[in-house]
Structures are given as C-alpha cells and as structure tokens.
C-alpha cells in the first residue's frame, strides 16, 4: 500500500509544481509570443507572398530579388566581415582578461569594475564619447595633428569598420569576462595541484586543464558574442545615421531602410535569411559542444 501511495503523491506534487511554474512563466511566454514569436511567424509567411494584404504565394521570388540586390549583398558582406573580425578579437581579449583577473592582483577589484562599467553606461553617453573621440574635430584627430599627421574622417572612410569593432569590444568585453571567470572558478583546484606535483608548467596547465575544461563556456561565449555583434546597429545608427559609409552598411541598416520604404517583402525575406543563418550556426555549435562533452566524459 505504501509503495502505491508514494508514486501518486509524487505525481500530485509534480502537477502542483508544473501548475505553479506555468502560472509564473505565463506572462513572459505570452509577451514573448505577442511581441516576438507571432510577428516573426507572420513575417516568415509574408516573405513568400507578393503583398501583405490579399497576397498571392510567389514561392522564392522575393528571395531571388533579395539576393540579386547589390545593397543587400553589400550589407551581408559587411555584417559577416564585422562578425568575423570582432568575435575572435573579443574572445581572445576577454579570455586573457579573465585569466588575469583570476589571479591575485592588488588592482583586481578596480579592473573588474573598469571592464563591467560599459555594460551599465547609457547608450547616449556611449555615443557622445565616441563622437568626441572620432569626430573630424575630435580628440583622435587632434592627437594626429599634434604629431604632424593628416586628419582622418573616421566615419566616412574604411577606418569606420575598425572604429565599430573597437566600440563593440569595449561595450561587450565585460559580459564575456564575467562568463569566463565563472567558468575558470568552476574548474577544480585539485587538477592544478596534481599538475604542480608532477612538475607541469604554466603553458601545459593552460592547454591541458584550463582550456579543456573551459571549452563548454567558450562555446556559450562565442554564441553570445555573435548574437551581440548583430546588436551593434544601435550604436552604428546613432553615430553614422541611416545611410553610413559603405564599409559599415549592415544588414540592420538594409532592413531598417526597407521598413521605411514599406518594402515588406524584402524586409521579411532579409530577416528570415538572417535568422536562418544564425539558427544553423547555433545548431552546429551546440552539436559540436555536445560531442565535446561526450568526449570529455
């Protein structure tokens, strides 16, 4: 009798927990569905129609027109170039900073505050600071002129991509450092003590202990860095405007301009294509991470 009652009590408690969890999650799920999931699903269907009102199914015609567009190809190349440059840089720099902060330094608290501070700085202050630095009459050009060098119109030249790589790294490096620090502190100290007893050097411990057990965190940081690289449009738009220099004309600029011109078909096709590329990459990264976990175990 007692064996039969225990499972039933467990199932009742489980149902109560699921009910309570569902009630707490319902507002967030409803908000996510209304503002994200349903609009994206509608946009996905619009990308296969010739009009948003009483539209007819046209298959992949909208995508063919999209890929034939020179402005879209330019935006796509610039976006993937920006991601390909900024993400590896921020991974290396944030990992180095995390390894440094994981040591016993007398300025450790100051450095942690300095790295995390950009996360809480308002966007208006960020834009003002970078405009002061890279304006035609900005601080950087004053320094160049003081060294008898020509001024550079940073935001209207090929240097503009480098400027926004710096902005992206400065804004997001603190978040990556926090994640790497959490991963470093989760590695058991026994591994390092054993390696010290066996006479292993710092490089050996870094390669065979730190980087190996930090790999799951590395996968997550790479994914978050790629996602954050697609959010740099806000800074780019506020600094350079609707139609910036060709080098920093991103996919988000293209979609914003299509929205302003009410070209919903190209807008939805571009958004679907971008989400599809990100989703494929995320699936590949998660599958690699899963296989790596199985290899480690």
| Domain edges within the chain | 69-296
Q: What CATH topology corresponds to 69-296?
A: MetI-like fold (1.10.3720)
pLDDT value for 89: 95
pLDDT digits (tens, 9 = 90+) for 107-133: 667 777 777 777 777 777 777 777 788
pLDDT value for 1: 44
pLDDT digits (tens, 9 = 90+) for 27-86: 888 988 898 888 889 888 888 988 877 778 888 899 999 999 899 999 999 999 999 999
Please state, in angstroms and as integers, the Cα–Cα distance from residue 105 to each residue in 100, 108, 109, following that order: 8, 5, 8
Mean pLDDT, the chain, integer:
83
Is the separation of the CB atoms in 167 and 232 below 8 Å? yes
Q: What is the DSSP string of 125-165?
A: HHHHHHHHHHSTTSHHHHHHHHTT-----GGGSTHHHHHHH
Q: What is the pTM of this model?
A: 0.81
pLDDT value for 2: 45
Of 275 and 294, the one with more pLDDT: 275
């Amino acid at each position: 009798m007692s064996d039969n009652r225990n499972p039933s009590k467990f199932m009742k408690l489980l149902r109560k927990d699921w009910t309570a969890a569902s009630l707490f999650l319902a507002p967030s799920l409803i908000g996510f569905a209304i503002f994200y999931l349903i609009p994206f699903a509608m946009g996905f269907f619009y990308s296969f129609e010739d009009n948003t009102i009483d539209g007819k199914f046209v298959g992949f015609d909208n995508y063919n027109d999209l890929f034939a567009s020179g402005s879209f190809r330019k935006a796509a190349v610039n976006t993937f170039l920006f991601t390909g440059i900024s993400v590896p840089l921020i991974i290396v720099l944030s990992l180095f900073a995390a390894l440094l902060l994981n040591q016993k330094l007398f300025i450790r608290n100051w450095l942690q505050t300095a790295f995390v501070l950009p996360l809480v700085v308002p966007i208006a202050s960020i834009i003002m600071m970078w405009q002061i630095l890279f304006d035609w009459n900005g601080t950087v050009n004053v320094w160049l002129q003081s060294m008898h060098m020509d001024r550079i119109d940073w935001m209207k030249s090929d240097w503009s991509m480098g400027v926004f790589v710096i902005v992206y790294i400065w804004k997001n490096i603190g978040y990556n450092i926090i994640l790497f620090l959490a991963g470093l502190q989760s590695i058991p100290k026994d591994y390092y003590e054993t390696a010290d007893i066996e006479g292993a050097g710092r490089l050996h411990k870094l390669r065979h202990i730190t980087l190996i057990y930090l790999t799951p965190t590395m996968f997550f940081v790479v994914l978050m860095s790629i996602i954050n690289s697609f959010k740099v449009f806000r800074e780019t738009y506020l600094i350079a405007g609707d139609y910036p220099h060709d080098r920093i004309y991103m996919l988000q600029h293209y979609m914003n301009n299509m929205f302003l011109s009410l070209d919903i078909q190209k807008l939805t096709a571009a958004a679907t294509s971008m989400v599809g590329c990100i989703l494929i990459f995320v699936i590949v990264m998660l599958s690699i991470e899963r296989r790596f976990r199985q290899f480690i175990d």
